[in-house]
């Protein structure tokens, strides 16, 4: 390590690093280096690499040899460029210490500003600036931040001291506090720190720097950063870089200020310069959302020269990066400094629009445009919207911080949001403002409403990243989170009351408004068409009803990959016949009951086939164990007994006989078909009656009959015979011929291991990765909640294996199934119908493994189309 370069300098029109070095320098550091090289005015500084962070943790939180030397060497260069000296009372160089991981984790890690101040340098700075109020304000900010971040003295303790001064003097705002009072507070802060830590505040700037660097390293593993990484799938071993950069002061006076901006609108994607700023403020004032900032357009009037310079810089940066940029700047006494540029976070809506617009503008090509949208993010566009046909009367309006609509019951803190959500309730989190501690509650809520803060406030940024509806800065809202109510003018809403948010317009509506389903149109439709040009995988859907099938066709599905027949057994007028069948003591009795179900099932299939005309429909025969169809509560058993005309003891006995220790591994799937072939025979008959009827009506039907839970080739053979018999009987009856296939799910590990045997008989495989995961890992999905969180926390498992396919384990069985299956039957049709079929990482795996299609829920079809295109762009199929 000691031989390694650990510190990279930037500034004065050149840099040791560049924009491609994100892994080493973090996103912020790499981009600062890149901007410096482009000749953009950034305060000089240096970046300590992510490798140092990793080494720090591996080395029991000690600095590697040589780091100290490299830091002071780089500091020397900064001093030279800035014309100031670190720790020099005459002309002190103050620096900011900021974290910077490979990908942005806004607000999750620590920052220390104004570092280098002590009683000596503060005096020197006053001499230089002749602005004691600025200096003592900066000084108190530094002591407060350092105390909080480095020395773990709670933030609130400092605030109490400030409040005491304000109260004593009758001040309302911090801006009213005088230089002398700030100076006095610095003293009080230091006393507080000495009391709490048992050590005096470090006056030595070098010691301050060392402490701050360690605090940034340490913050990589604070609870909220770990939580954020889990939610956003960021590996823990990446580590963070540390950026040490000369301070530019936005808080020197009224010709100073600070702002953040986007080169295009991050909410809509519109090609307009978009941002906010605050005069006489430091960066955290804007991001924290404590004062409501001004729109960037106002700067054009207020400081036209600065604005013009900013405009030329942002255009240069967007052209350079060929992507929408999120920039931070500070104006120090009329002079513009750029503090950061990075690819801007954006809503899915904006991501789609920007990708399509940039392709149309010729900035990028179509293929690049397709890679510019995270497939998972599209989920946002597929969220429900307020029904435009319904007239709703908003009770208030805020900033449209993250689009989509949400309906839920009001809660006033993150903890309640998580608790209520676990109870299955839809909740809206209502806060004055959010902070990084609220991240879990925001994740649990359907939508977020804040009374304060702008479009770049914490709530807005995080909600957009989560694809969650958010209305921010709704100043009409007066929140009382102690007594748990919120006033909108005279309208009072309490905890648990229903509320509707429209994140696209900023409207707040009392009660439950009607929402409508989204559709593909405009830029979204265009991007989907482009994606289709690049993908190799077909995308099917899991749909059990004509309505689901219709929705999926609207989203561009190419067939049904999984039509579950058991849901059809629960409906009105059906469950009774199902129960009659279950109670029957012999085959004749079961057949009598099944005869009642036949016309109903036929209608089900007729409807689905009709919607899917011309596209294949994979129908899975009955899968769940029979005990799912009988009542388990005493009162319902009595009701069933009455309905069936039998003593309740008969029902109880049958229910008891059907009970299983491990129903997941019990009498279900084709095991039902083997023991009661009449069930599958009826289902096959219903399928082919519906298909024949439609064929006669001139509608093309492509049925694929799927036998579930096969583990032995004999099971498949026996069940295929039942289906084939029903098919030929029915086709003869109707006098038409239907082309159909009989295949199986590969969901029992054994099936993957003997896939060659099965493929001799089966015409298609559909990998049922839900059950395959349960059995391969030995995880009951319904029970894993007791240990899975501990597994993820202890990093035994990277991701929930029911969301993202466990490629190392389960993936081996899928690959084996594919290989063996294709060996035995080269044209074997292969798909996947577990929930992984809608997960982008799993879709990439399916593409690389050579499957023909993935099948996912209707609302994930567009996500799958895009993910499949990106997989094929990444690794084209021959």
* Contacts with a copy of itself, residue ranges (CB under 8 A): 660-667, 671, 674-675, 709, 711-712, 714-715, 718, 747-750, 753-754, 771, 774-780, 782-784, 786-787, 790-791, 794-797, 806, 808-810, 812-813
Nearest-approach distance from CB 711 to a copy of itself, in angstroms: 5
CB of 232 to a copy of itself, least distance (A): 21
CB 97 within 8 A of CB 216: yes
Q: Helix (H, G, I), strand (E, B), or coil: what is residue 109?
A: coil
* Min separation Cβ 165 and a copy of itself, Å: 42
Least CB distance to a copy of itself at residue 819 (A): 13
CA dihedral 820, 825, 827, 828 (to 10 degrees): -60
Comparison of 416 and 715: residue with beta carbon closer to a copy of itself:
715
Q: Report in angstroms how near the CB of residue 814 gets to a copy of itself at its nearest.
A: 11
Phi/psi of residue 260, each to 5°? -130, 150
- Under 8 Å between Cβ of 544 and 622: no
Contact, 593 vs 584, CB < 8 A? Answer: yes
Give the residue among 303, 294, 301, 150 at the shortest CA–CA distance from 213: 150
Q: Which tokens go with 866? A: 């895009």
Q: How far is CA 324 from CA 482, 501, 866, in A?
A: 41, 28, 20
Q: What's the closest the beta carbon of residue 806 comes to a copy of itself, in angstroms?
A: 7
Task: Pick the closer one to a copy of itself by CB: 428 or 658.
Answer: 658
Nearer to a copy of itself, 510 or 665 (CB): 665
Check: CB of residue 539 under 8 Å from CB of residue 425.
no
Which lies closer to a copy of itself via its Cβ, residue 3 or residue 808?
Answer: 808
DSSP lists the bridge partners of residue 525 as none
* Minimum CB–partner distance for residue 800 and a copy of itself (Å): 13
CA 788, CA 634: separation in Å to the nearest integer? 33
Pairing mode of beta strands 325-332, 257-262: antiparallel
CA–CA gap between residue 158 and residue 180 (Å, rounded): 17
Of residues 187 and 714, the one with the C-beta less far from a copy of itself = 714
- Cα distance between residue 242 and residue 111, in whole Å: 10
CB 751 within 8 A of CB 758: yes
Q: Which is nearer to a copy of itself, 566 or 756 (CB)?
A: 756
Report how far residue 495's alpha carbon sits from residue 586's, in angstroms, rounded to the nearest whole number: 56
In terms of CB distance, is 72 or 787 closer to a copy of itself? Answer: 787
For a copy of itself, give the closer residue by CB, 378 or 748.
Answer: 748
The CA R_g of the chain, rounded to the nearest whole Å, is: 32
Q: How many CB atoms lie within 10 A of CB 631?
A: 16
Give the whole-angstrom CA distance, residue 640 versus residue 529. Answer: 52
- Do 284 and 251 contact (CB within 8 A), yes or no? no
Q: Which is it for the CA torsion 139, 142, 145, 150, positive or negative?
A: negative
Q: Which secondary-structure segment (H or E) carries 420?
A: helix 414-422
Strand bridging mode 427-431 / 447-450: parallel
User: Residue 118 phi/psi, 5° resolution?
Assistant: -150, -175
Tokens of 660: 């299983």
Both tokens of 336, joined, read: 């513009």
Tell me the C-alpha distance between 818 and 83, whole Å: 66
| Edge-first strand listing for the sheet containing 111-115 | 14-15, 7-11, 45-48, 241-246, 95-100, 111-115
DSSP H or E stretch at residue 574: none
Q: Give the Cα separation of 227 and 656 in Å (integer).
A: 44
Minimal distance, residue 203 CB to a copy of itself, in Å: 42
**Secondary structure letter of residue 840 according to DSSP:** H
**Closer of 172 and 786 to a copy of itself (Cβ):** 786
Give the CA dihedral 422, 424, 426, 429, nearest 10 degrees: -20
> Which residue number, 3 or 656, has a Cβ lying nearer to a copy of itself?
656
What's the min distance (Å) between Cβ of 517 and a copy of itself? 32
> Which CB sits closer to a copy of itself, 2 or 823?
823
Nearer of residues 168 and 808 to a copy of itself, judged by Cβ: 808
Q: How far apart are CA 549 and CA 553, in angstroms?
A: 6
Least distance (Å) between residue 760 CB and a copy of itself: 14
Positions marked active-site: 458, 833
Cα 790 to Cα 796: distance, rounded to the nearest angstrom: 8
For tokens 């009506």, name the residue.
697
Q: Provide, rounded to whole angstroms, the least separation between the CB of residue 782 and a copy of itself.
A: 4
Taking the C-alpha atoms of residue 654 and residue 626, their distance in angstroms, rounded to an integer, is 10
Cα 849 to chain center, whole Å? 26
Consecutive H or E run containing 98: strand 95-100
Task: Provide, rounded to whole angstroms, the least separation between the CB of residue 811 and a copy of itself.
Answer: 9
Question: Between 370 and 622, whose beta carbon lies closer to a copy of itself?
Answer: 622
**Shortest distance (Å) from residue 780 CB to a copy of itself:** 4
At a CB cut-off of 8 Å and minimum separation 6, what does 783 contact?
none
DSSP 626: G
């Amino acid at each position: 390590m000691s031989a390694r370069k650990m510190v990279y300098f930037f500034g004065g029109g050149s840099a040791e690093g560049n924009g491609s070095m994100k892994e080493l320098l973090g996103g912020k550091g790499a981009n600062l280096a890149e901007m410096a090289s482009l000749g953009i005015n950034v305060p000089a500084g240096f970046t300590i690499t992510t490798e140092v962070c990793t080494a720090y943790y591996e080395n029991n939180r000690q600095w590697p040899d040589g780091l100290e030397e490299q830091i002071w060497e780089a500091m020397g260069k900064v001093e030279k460029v800035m014309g100031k000296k670190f720790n020099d009372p005459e002309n002190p160089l103050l620096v900011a210490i900021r974290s910077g991981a490979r990908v942005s984790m806004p607000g999750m890690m620590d920052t220390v500003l104004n570092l280098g101040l002590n009683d000596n340098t503060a005096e020197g700075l006053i001499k230089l600036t002749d602005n004691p109020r600025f200096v003592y304000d900066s000084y108190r900010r530094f002591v407060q931040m350092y105390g909080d971040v480095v020395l773990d003295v709670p933030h609130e303790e400092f605030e109490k001291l400030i409040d005491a001064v304000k109260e004593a003097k009758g001040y309302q705002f911090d801006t009213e506090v005088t230089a002398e009072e700030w100076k006095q507070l610095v003293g009080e802060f230091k006393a507080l720190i000495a009391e709490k830590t048992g050590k005096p505040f470090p006056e030595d700037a070098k010691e301050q720097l060392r402490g701050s660097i360690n605090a940034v390293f340490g913050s990589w593993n604070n609870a909220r950063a770990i939580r954020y990484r889990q939610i956003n799938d960021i590996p823990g071993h990446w580590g963070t870089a540390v950026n040490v950069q000369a301070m530019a002061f936005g808080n020197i006076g009224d010709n100073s200020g600070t702002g953040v901006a986007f080169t295009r609108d991050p909410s809509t994607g519109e090609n307009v310069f978009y941002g906010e700023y605050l005069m006489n403020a430091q960066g955290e004032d804007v991001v924290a959302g404590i004062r409501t900032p001004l729109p960037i357009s106002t700067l054009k009037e207020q400081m036209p020269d600065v604005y013009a310079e900013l405009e030329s810089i942002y255009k240069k940066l967007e052209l350079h990066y060929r992507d929408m940029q999120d920039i931070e700047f500070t104006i120090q006494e009329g002079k513009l400094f750029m503090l950061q540029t990075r690819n801007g976070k954006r809503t899915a809506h904006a991501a789609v629009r920007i990708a399509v617009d940039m392709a149309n503008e010729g900035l990028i090509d179509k293929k690049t445009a397709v890679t510019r949208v995270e497939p998972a993010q599209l989920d946002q566009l597929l969220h429900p919207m307020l029904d435009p046909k319904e007239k709703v009367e908003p009770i208030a309006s805020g900033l449209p911080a993250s689009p989509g609509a949400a309906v839920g019951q009001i809660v006033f803190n993150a903890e309640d949001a998580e608790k209520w959500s676990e109870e299955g309730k839809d909740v809206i989190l209502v806060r004055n403002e959010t902070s990084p501690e609220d991240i879990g509650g925001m994740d649990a809520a359907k939508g977020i409403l804040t009374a304060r803060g702008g479009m770049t406030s914490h709530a807005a940024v995080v909600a957009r990243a989560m694809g969650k509806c958010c209305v921010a800065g709704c100043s009409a809202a007066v929140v009382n989170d102690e007594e748990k109510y919120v006033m909108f003018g005279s309208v009072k809403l309490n905890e648990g009351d229903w509320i509707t948010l429209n994140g696209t317009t900023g409207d707040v509506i009392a009660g439950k408004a009607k929402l409508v389903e989204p559709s593909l149109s405009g830029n979204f439709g265009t991007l989907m068409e482009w994606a289709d040009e690049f993908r190799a995988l077909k995308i099917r859907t899991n749909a059990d009803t004509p309505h689901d099938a219709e929705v999926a066709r609207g989203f561009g599905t190419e067939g049904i990959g999984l039509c579950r027949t058991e849901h059809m057994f629960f409906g009105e007028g059906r469950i009774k016949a199902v129960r009659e069948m279950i109670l029957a003591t012999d085959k004749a009795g079961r057949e009598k009951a099944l005869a009642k179900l036949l016309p109903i099932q036929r209608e089900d299939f007729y409807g689905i086939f009709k919607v899917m005309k011309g596209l294949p429909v994979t129908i899975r025969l009955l899968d769940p164990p029979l005990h799912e169809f009988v009542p388990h509560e005493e009162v319902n058993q009595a009701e069933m007994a009455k309905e069936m005309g039998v003593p309740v003891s008969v029902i109880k006995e049958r229910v008891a006989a059907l009970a299983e220790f491990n129903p997941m591994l019990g009498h279900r799937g084709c095991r039902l078909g083997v023991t009661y072939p009449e069930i599958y025979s009826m289902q096959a008959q219903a399928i082919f009656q519906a298909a024949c009827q439609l064929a006669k009506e001139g509608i093309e039907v492509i049925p694929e009959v799927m036998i579930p839970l096969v583990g032995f080739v004999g099971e498949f053979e026996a069940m295929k015979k039942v289906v084939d018999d029903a098919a030929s009987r029915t086709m003869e009856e109707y006098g038409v011929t239907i082309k159909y296939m009989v295949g199986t799910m590969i969901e029992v590990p054994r099936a993957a291991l003997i896939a060659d045997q099965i493929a001799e008989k089966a015409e298609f495989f559909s990998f049922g990765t839900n059950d395959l995961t349960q059995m391969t890992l030995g995880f009951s999905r319904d029970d894993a909640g007791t240990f899975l969180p501990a597994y993820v926390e202890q990093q035994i498992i990277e991701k929930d294996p029911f969301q993202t396919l466990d490629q190392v384990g389960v993936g081996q069985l899928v690959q084996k199934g594919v290989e063996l299956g294709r060996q035995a039957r080269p044209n074997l049709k292969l798909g996947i119908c577990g929930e992984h079929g809608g997960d982008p990482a799993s879709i990439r795996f399916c593409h690389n493994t050579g499957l023909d299609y993935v099948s996912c829920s209707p609302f994930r079809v567009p996500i799958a189309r895009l993910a499949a295109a990106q997989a094929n762009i990444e690794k084209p199929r021959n």
